Structure 1
Amino acid sequence: MFRMLSRIILNRCICARNYAKDVRFGREARSLLLRGVNIMANAVATTLGPRGRNVLIEQLLISPRITKDGATVANNVQLKDRRWNLGAQLLRQATNDTNNEVGNGTTLATILARGMACQGIQATRAGQVNVQLLREGILEGSRVVCEALSEMSESVVNIGQVEAVAKMALNGNERQAELIGDTILELGEDGVILLKESHGSEDEVKIQEGVCLPTGYCSPFFAMSANGDTLELGNCLLLLTLAKIDEVSQILPALEMAKVRQQPLLIIAPHFASEVLRVLVHNLLQGRVQVCAVKAPGFGEEQREQMRDLAVAMGANLLEDATWLAKLTEEDLGEVVSAIVDAKKTHILEPINAKEEDMEGRIEHIRELIEEAVTDQELNQLNTRLGRLQGHLATIYVGGSSELEVTERKDRFKNALLAVRGAIRDGVVPGGGCAYLRCIPALQKLPSAQVPEHQMGREIVRDALRLPCYTIALNAGADPDEVVRRVLAGSGTFGFDAANGDFCDLAARGIVDPTNVLQAAVGVAAGIASLLATTEVLITEQPVKRKIPKNQVTRDLAKLVGM
């Protein structure tokens, strides 16, 4: 019986290598995953702290990219060995989840996840351990840390603290931090800030008041009665419609109302026929009605939503089609103090009849869409719409001496803005990994767990909390063990300033981290690490050797893409 059982087990181990897919079990599976985790974490950890190093990333057919953004580094790590790559992918999920949740803290999540995963896998080697109970202990420890961070958190009460958070995210660049602080001071904490690439080498901010549309007048003849190429309409009526204006009769009621009220008329529609534009220009030049035609921004459903936003912001009714135009009343028209139109854009200022409750409802609707947005393009479009509704919008134009530098600086600005938003909402804690070290006593004060695996899980989280401070000190060239020892021996906001290489009151120097970033990082790390530690079977595709034709041109192309 014993011989038969031994033979079955031996056959299982031999057949594992002969499957259509590669199947690994137990300790071997976890060891292979851990190899990928370590490679990923080592690559990402180099970027942590003010003295963190840059990572240079090859990009086929275009210039290489240099960055200190942990999420960017993680998304570019691809390992040849499929088993190792699975471990790297799981760790990448930690960075992406943290980035999606709070927009920052990706490097912290990676370092914490690697530390917890290594200790969790080591614990499973020690003996008979219930891995599910171990996972519960790790998750319990992370919840205790999040609660301790909340108790430690302090509210952001002045613009100096905002600039301090931005400065940390921008690796100590004071000028860029002041740029963000001044912009938030001008717009308020709910203001919309967009990032775009500048054509010059310097960073600059442009703030737009009112509603600015990216479309101008449909014919340059509308500006003939003005000085220069800009037409200004004061105390202006506004007609918004989604109907294509193919005949003058469609807008004749609006023209008559404008003439009776002796006010200029701005018409925004998706399309104007050539004959309609000729009649409108003729009316303008003859002095009958001061009028201007502007094409509606966007296309399709996006155009419809933008026009609805504009109607709410201007206190007008959006006329969906020609039948609505035929039933036009004075209540359908919006009214604004001023509209300035040139060849490329339309600037509308100070609506007179906008309804506050409608505005708040529309703004809340767009904010819900922003939370559900997936792509950067979708997020940018929604933020632009939100800025138009709120009546003020800031654009930071990021400069640099090369495309490579602009891209890297833009990543930093994006992280800094997200960090500032989180800090304003949830408060800040001491930076430099100090806050995590101050959470260790909260874990130690917990009553002893009745289940050994739960206690083991808490200890895994406790030990991992030392790693951020250790890594920051290591990247700064200091003795990491000595730094961690001295910070633990201190209290409150006493910690290590890696930029200057000395110990100080971190809060007094403005070295702080957003509370929600640290909470998200430890929560996501605990989830991913506990899954890695409880993995028993690893299944991957068998490696397939690519067949490359003997044609020399094809060989060269294959070599170019790394085949």
Structure 2
Amino acid sequence: MSRDMDHVLQNRRFAEDSRTNALLDNAEAVRSIAAAVEGTLGPKGLDTMLVSESGEVIVTNDGVTILEKMAIDHPAARMVAQIARAQQEEVGDGTTTATLLAATLVEEGAKQVARGVPVAKVIAGIRRGVQHALEAMQQLAHPIWDMKDDWLQGIAYTAGREQEDVTDLVMEAALMVGREKLLEKDFRLAEAVTAHPRVNSGVFSGLLVQGERLNLQVSNTKEIPRVLVLGGDLIPEPVETQSEAGFRKLEENRELLVSTIEKLAESVVDIIFVEGEVDPIAEDVLSTADLLVVSNMSKEDINRVAEHTGARVLKRTTLVKPIEELQEYFGMAELVEYEERLGCARIISGAGKPFATILVSASTEEVVKERERIAKDAAAAVQAAVRGGFLPGGGAAELALAREVEKHRDLVQGMEAFGVSAVAEALHRPMSQVVANAGFNPLEKVEEVKALQWKRQSSSLGVDCDRGVISDMVDMGVVDPLPVKYHALQAAGEVSTAILRIHTVVSMKRNDAI
């Protein structure tokens, strides 16, 4: 019996050691991901150079770009890297903060498990601590009602890497589209950013959409045009052409399409945007009628053109309707101009919903891509602030939240308190990293700020990264949008607990294995 019991205990210890090893291995992999982006955080953060096997070079301090482009093999590390993509899609900024929070939660959680705290208790505590922090975060937020609010300018400046020209462009565009448009669920101001090395930076009321101009002999400029927007292809109705009857039917369909287009040419339409391809014969008819045609567009751009010009997206089969009925589907704009060097159509002052386009230029392709990413971050941050308000930046809000989580931990009974402590530790990380990147001692400065925040009961005190002194971040104009911070912590909590739940890693068999 004793030997059997020893065998059972040995197997149990082996299983526990295997779980611990898997957890520590995952924590180390996650830590390496955080190390790749941590140096970019804050106003003194530096750039990362990404180099491909083919020699392609990208220089950036954009967290999501770094994580998307770098080679990541470890599955747990890939889970953390996916946070950046989710953060980017949801709010367009804060990818580095989300990554650091997740990595620290995993690291602190693994430490607690290694000390003997059951992983289930750690996970429950982390969830509890994150939820408490999210609720407290909403209480700290300051709303923005006025589009000319100075805080909005500060948010654009911070997210725009302190580039004044980018800040001005983004703010001009935000004012142009207005608060109501920024609040729309499906609208993304960041999508208005277009960068090119051969354009002058600026903002205009309208759209810049990619597409192929077909009839080059037609003028590329149309003033006060009537606009027709077509989804799908402008080709004859397809038929089975393996028989003579099929070929005859196809020819009949082509003749029907041509007659339909000739009817359009007689109407007041001036430009046609087509999502797909255009039949060559139909193209000739359109050219003869002096109609400008832009084809091979994305579905997203087709919908944006329709929305901005006030048009309705038609299908090919709808074109058979009488002209009087079709005209109800047309849109209008002040000007449509096709720019050959960009491969884009510029639509100015459409009759539908307002849009703004931000043009960003730079000297080279490499630099212009980074400028585009910076402008997109600034635009996303401004829109997020309009939607949800703002918090003190520089890690000040997170440090204040850490204090609230520590208070909450004292009320938690049992071993879940260890998981709550992991959340408090993680909330120290943003300021600690910002201070370290500025060249100061993070341990000294963070503790100093923490003590002064408690003494003054302030959530906005942080470190001036130029002078190394404690300052009020809000007074300095260093603020961050609430949705960015909220989603970063929420996503970090979700992915960290998912990783902590993994007790072993097993390789899957190949698809062709027996």
TM range (shorter): 0.7 to 0.9
Output the TM-score relative to the length of structure 2: 0.77
**Alignment partners' CA distance in 1, 2:135 and 2:87:** 18
The answer to whether the 8 Å contact 2:435/2:441 transfers is yes
SS at match of 1:537: coil
Match of 1:382 in 2: none
SS at match of 1:196: strand
CA RMSD of aligned residues (A): 3.9
The answer to whether the 8 Å contact 2:261/2:286 transfers is no
Q: State yes or no: 1:51 paired with 2:44.
A: yes
Match of 1:561 in 2: none
Residue number among 456, 462, 469 corresponding to 1:502 in the alignment: 469
Match of 1:306 in 2: 302
Q: Evaluate the alpha carbon distance shift between residue 9 and residue 219 of structure 1 in structure 2; reply closer, same or farther with a 3 A threshold.
A: same
Q: Evaluate the alpha carbon distance shift between residue 50 and residue 10 of structure 1 in structure 2; reply closer, same or farther with a 3 A threshold.
A: same
Match of 2:240 in 1: none
Q: Evaluate the alpha carbon distance shift between residue 159 and residue 181 of structure 1 in structure 2; reply closer, same or farther with a 3 A threshold.
A: farther
**Alignment partners' CA distance in 1, 2:36 and 2:286:** 66
Match of 1:381 in 2: none
Residue number among 171, 174, 178 corresponding to 1:184 in the alignment: 174
Shift of residue 341, structure 1, vs aligned partner: 6.4
User: What amino acid sits opposite 1:466 in the alignment?
Assistant: H
The answer to whether the 8 Å contact 1:311/1:318 transfers is no
**Alignment partners' CA distance in 2, 1:280 and 1:42:** 57
SS at match of 2:357: strand
Q: State yes or no: 1:396 paired with 2:371.
A: no
**Alignment partners' CA distance in 1, 2:104 and 2:230:** 58
Residue number among 78, 84, 92 corresponding to 2:81 in the alignment: 92
What are the superposed Cα offsets for residues 332-354 of structure 1, whole Å, 9 maximum, x if unpaired? Answer: 214758665679677777788xx
The answer to whether the 8 Å contact 1:99/1:106 transfers is yes
User: What amino acid sits opposite 2:121 in the alignment?
Assistant: L
Shift of residue 312, structure 1, vs aligned partner: 9.2
**Alignment partners' CA distance in 1, 2:473 and 2:396:** 9
Q: Superposed, which structure 2 residues align to 1:256-271 within 5 Å?
A: 264-266=268-270, 268=272, 271=278
Residue number among 92, 108, 116 corresponding to 2:97 in the alignment: 108
The answer to whether the 8 Å contact 2:230/2:315 transfers is yes
The answer to whether the 8 Å contact 1:104/1:415 transfers is yes
Shift of residue 319, structure 1, vs aligned partner: 6.5
**Alignment partners' CA distance in 2, 1:195 and 1:449:** 48
Match of 1:204 in 2: 201
**Alignment partners' CA distance in 2, 1:541 and 1:212:** 44
What are the superposed Cα offsets for residues 507-562 of structure 1, whole Å, 9 maximum, x if unpaired? Answer: 122101111111122222222333333432233479xxxxxxxxxxxxxxxxxxxx
The answer to whether the 8 Å contact 1:339/1:346 transfers is no
User: What amino acid sits opposite 1:3 in the alignment?
Assistant: R
SS at match of 1:538: coil
Of all paired residues, the percent bearing the same amino acid is 23
The answer to whether the 8 Å contact 1:494/1:505 transfers is yes
Q: Evaluate the alpha carbon distance shift between residue 211 and residue 76 of structure 1 in structure 2; reply closer, same or farther with a 3 A threshold.
A: closer
Largest Rg, 1 or 2? 1
What are the superposed Cα offsets for residues 357-381 of structure 1, whole Å, 9 maximum, x if unpaired? Answer: xxxxxxxxxxxxxxxxxxxxxxxxx
Shift of residue 65, structure 1, vs aligned partner: 1.9
The answer to whether the 8 Å contact 2:105/2:423 transfers is yes
Shift of residue 78, structure 1, vs aligned partner: 4.0
Q: Superposed, which structure 2 residues align to 1:101-500 within 5 Å?
A: 101-127=90-116, 129-156=117-144, 157=146, 158-189=148-179, 190=181, 192=189, 193-200=191-198, 204-209=201-206, 214=211, 218=215, 220=217, 230=221, 232=223, 242=234, 246=255, 249-250=259-260, 264-266=268-270, 268=272, 271=278, 277=284, 281=288, 292-295=290-293, 297-298=295-296, 302=299, 306=302, 310=306, 313-314=309-310, 318=314, 320-321=316-317, 325=319, 327-333=321-327, 334=330, 336=332, 390-400=353-363, 402-446=364-408, 448-449=410-411, 451-488=413-450, 489-490=452-453, 491-500=458-467
Paired residues, number: 466
User: What amino acid sits opposite 1:295 in the alignment?
Assistant: V
SS at match of 1:65: strand
The answer to whether the 8 Å contact 2:44/2:434 transfers is yes
Q: Evaluate the alpha carbon distance shift between residue 167 and residue 8 of structure 1 in structure 2; reply closer, same or farther with a 3 A threshold.
A: same
SS at match of 2:471: strand
